[in-house]
Amino acid sequence: MKKLSLAALASGALFGTGLAMSGMTDPRRVLGFLDLFGDFDPTLMFVLGGAVATTMLLFRFVLRRGSPVLADTFHLSTLKGVDRRLLGGAAIFGIGWGIAGYCPGPALAGLGVGSIEALWFVPALLAGLLLHRLVNRA
């Protein structure tokens, strides 16, 4: 378990460093990407394109391993269709992203670079996670 925790920490640190280097910890970049008819900033498209290209190239090779290096099995989604919960969650996520300019990864990385916005966003994110757990427990 210690190796798994260290790998998770290293992965998170690498992800956060990449977000910080690309400027994605700045919510103005994200909001600029969403502002198609104003001060449009295409930077996020390049970051997203790099992530999608990397995944397309390497995902099949990773899955050929049979199991992850530090776990017994891969934990992949079994969902095969689109339902109301997925659409509703995507809509809420998108609205929050559009209002704040943050999603969870960049918000946590933003804490690491001292972003004032992240100090407001992360507690709201945690409250949303708690609300989700309470609603789904019933």
pLDDT of residue 127: 93
pLDDT of residue 137: 81
Number of domains in the chain: 1
- Residue 44: partners with Cβ closer than 8 Å, 6 or more residues away: 24, 29, 30, 33
SS3 (DSSP) at 88 = helix
Residue 56, pLDDT above cutoff 90: yes
Residue 81 DSSP code: S
Instruction: Considering only the C-alpha atoms of the chain, give the largest distance between any 2 of them, rounded to a whole number of Å.
Output: 49
Q: How many CA atoms lie within 13 A of 42 on its CB side?
A: 2
Per-residue DSSP letters for 13-80?
A: HHHHHHHHHHTTT-HHHHHHHH-TTSS--THHHHHHHHHHHHHHHHHHHHHTTSS-TTSSS-------
Residue 135, pLDDT above cutoff 80: yes
Residue 138, pLDDT above cutoff 70: no
SS3 (DSSP) at 115 = coil
The residue range of the domain holding 67 is: 2-137
